[in-house]
Amino acid sequence: MCGIVAFLSRQRPVSPDALSRATATLHHRGPDNQHQWISADGRVGLGHARLSIIDLTTGDQPLVSEDGKLHLVVNGEFYDFERIRRELEGRGHHFRTRSDSEIALHLYEDTGVHCLPQLRGEFAFALWDERNHTLFAARDRFGIKPLFYAVHEGNLYVASEAKALFAAGVPARWDHEYFYQVATGPTLPDRSLYAGVHQVPPGHYLLATPSSFRVLPYWDFDYPLAADLAAHRRDDASYIEEFRAVLDESVRLRMRADVPVGCYLSGGLDSCAVLGLAARHASQPIHAFTLTFDQAAYDESAIAKEMAAKAGAHYYPIPIKQADIAEHFADAIWQAETLFFNGHGVSKFLLSRAVRDAGYKVVFTGEGSDEILGGYAHFRRDMLLHNAEGQNPTEVQRLLRELEDNNSVSRGLLLPAGESVPVDAIRRTLGFVPTWFEIFGAMAMKRLSVLGEDFKGQFAGRDSASVFLNQFDVPGQLTGRDPLNQSLYLWSKASLLNYILVVLGDRMEMAHSIEGRVPFLDHHVVECLRQVPVALKVRGMTEKYILREATRHVITDTVYRRQKHPFLSPPVTTLPGERFHEMLQDTLRGSSLAALPFYDQKKVIALLDQLPGMTEGDRVAWDPMFMSILSACVLQERFRLG
């Protein structure tokens, strides 16, 4: 994994200093080497900060074609690249390096932008085509790797992180409209918190010339119609075996590296399944790294240790305390460039630091499984509410109460808590309301209660849920699909992209130059699972049923039988004696919050004053809102946002 930068100037030559500053800002993404290239006419510049994983000696970038007309910078990994390389060599291509990245250069020579379906992995890249005067920048199918762009003073800037754009000269300013969107509804796949700074959405590519640019799609989930799924129903065993094979292949391909590969390990099914499969392909014991907490409800170390023993892995516990989260909160926010809703992002930040200090550059992670297999409590609620045909209504209500009782730590984040803003437009469009829209609606109601009246007034009447839904091809991707698959699709476009893969993924890993590999978000795995009946994803109260069955041979009985427990740090509002709680109180009562243009500080302070009298359940439900406000204060200070 690396950091990339690309400039396309329409008027004056690219500034070498600006290109160098932008590349240097991404040093944490690529500490092993940095290089820049500027075209002969001075109108194009590419920068690359390298984290060397494959081909440690000859893989420096930018890469250049044999005729000197193509230049390429890549962030990420292309899997199964040796096979593709052999095919390219058979067609007459000559390689200058042994790196996986170079296959993109030669595939583009053959088929242009239509090379993208042949690429498998986690990636973002930028390629300058001198013959056609075209900048081609693309992002992987799920948005595992970030890719931002901005147009400033007529010039196009592309980079792995927004901070690199700011270093290049793009103004660092809040996007007030989008901040309101984030506060009151789902996030959007093409926007950021910063004015003029956009994302290339997952499964999309950018084409730019000196006079224009477009962003175009090349992949989507394409869930089949519910009627088609039912018509082609097979026996459960065949689905399970097919999924086992494709997931195992995904893990095996991700073992390829010229450095050691470790594994993040919690007590959850996802990371345990990955470790269990990876151990079968490893020539020596894998090092497994586990976060531990001093609150029993959030600590999974005993389960993880048992799993490590079964896999023959070396177990490394990493203890995290609230004081650690307080100390490193601002640094983690600066890396993520977005709002946090829990301290778990800081915990991942500290976990990646421990992995780096142990001498590792690459780790397996379990992210993405919940989004393709219905792992969260709100997906189980969707199944009970919207796939309940033939069920006894009394039994459904009993199971809903059981779900609520068994998931107290998810209240407010993964299950609705409190009054919601209206979501009628979602019901009219989809025919039902996915539970996670209710969660966002309840969060929105809480945030609206502390937003400043002038700020709210600018967006009076805005329906943020509808704004989100308007981004998508409802007839082509949602209509006629099973309700659970519709919910999975939309959740992936919002929370997987802009939160899980950021706060719990790439940005926290790359903060310490760690490459996270995500076997569940291999498009072959996802394309297999989209053909699976929803009853194999969520069966009764058992989530990720097909994963449990497919990996039962490599996980412990404890993990096999355990219900989903979301990865969360203890809520700051429930620990009034801790340093992190004091930091929250001091910040939200002080000048940092006063400087933000979004909140009514008096209302925030009044709510802080009510915390001691709240039940623990209510404090848990309000905790995400307080965390998001604290995050905004940090972003304001760190980026000096206008």
What digits encode the pLDDT tens for the residues 463-497? Answer: 999 999 999 999 999 999 999 999 999 999 999 99
Residue 409 pLDDT level (bands cut at 50, 70, 90) = low
What does the angle CA 380 – CA 382 – CA 384 come to, to the nearest 5 degrees? Answer: 70
Question: Do the beta carbons of residue 441 and residue 433 sit within 8 Å?
Answer: no
Whether 40 has a pLDDT exceeding 70, the answer reads yes
| DSSP string computed for 175-232 | -HHHHHHHHHS---TT--SBTTEEEPPTTEEEEEETTEEEEEE-----PPPHHHHHHT
Domain assignment present for residue 536? The answer is no
Range of the domain at 207: 2-174+183-217
Domain assignment present for residue 192? The answer is yes
pLDDT confidence of residue 244: 98
CATH number at residue 127: 3.60.20.10
| DSSP string computed for 245-265 | HHHHHHHHHTT--SS-EEEE-
Residue 448: both structure tokens together: 């609206």
pLDDT, average across residues 589-609 = 96
More confident residue, 615 or 541: 615
Residue with tokens 């390298």: 50
d(CA 124, CA 283): 30
Residue 411 pLDDT level (bands cut at 50, 70, 90) = low
Question: Do the beta carbons of residue 290 and residue 88 sit within 8 Å?
Answer: no
Domain assignment present for residue 204? The answer is yes
What does the angle CA 353 – CA 287 – CA 348 come to, to the nearest 5 degrees? Answer: 30
Is there a cis peptide before residue 217, judged by omega within 30 degrees of 0? no
Domain assignment present for residue 136? The answer is yes
The H or E element containing residue 387 is: none
Domain assignment present for residue 510? The answer is no
List the 70-78 sheet strands across, edge first: 63-64, 70-78, 121-129, 134-139, 204-209, 212-217
Radius of gyration from C-alpha coordinates of the chain: 24
Count of structural domains, the chain: 1
Domain assignment present for residue 427? The answer is no
pLDDT confidence of residue 505: 96
Q: How far is CA 127 from CA 53, 132, 517, in A?
A: 21, 12, 23
pLDDT confidence of residue 402: 81
In degrees and rounded to multiples of 5, residue 391 shows phi and psi of -90, 155
pTM of the predicted model, to two decimals?
0.95
Helix (H, G, I), strand (E, B) or coil at 75: strand
pLDDT, average across residues 39-58 = 90
Domain assignment present for residue 293? The answer is no
Helix (H, G, I), strand (E, B) or coil at 551: coil
Tell me, what amino acid is at 415? L
Residue 417: both structure tokens together: 């808590």
d(CA 216, CA 163): 25
Lowest-pLDDT range, 556-560, 561-565, 582-586? Answer: 561-565
Domain assignment present for residue 275? The answer is no
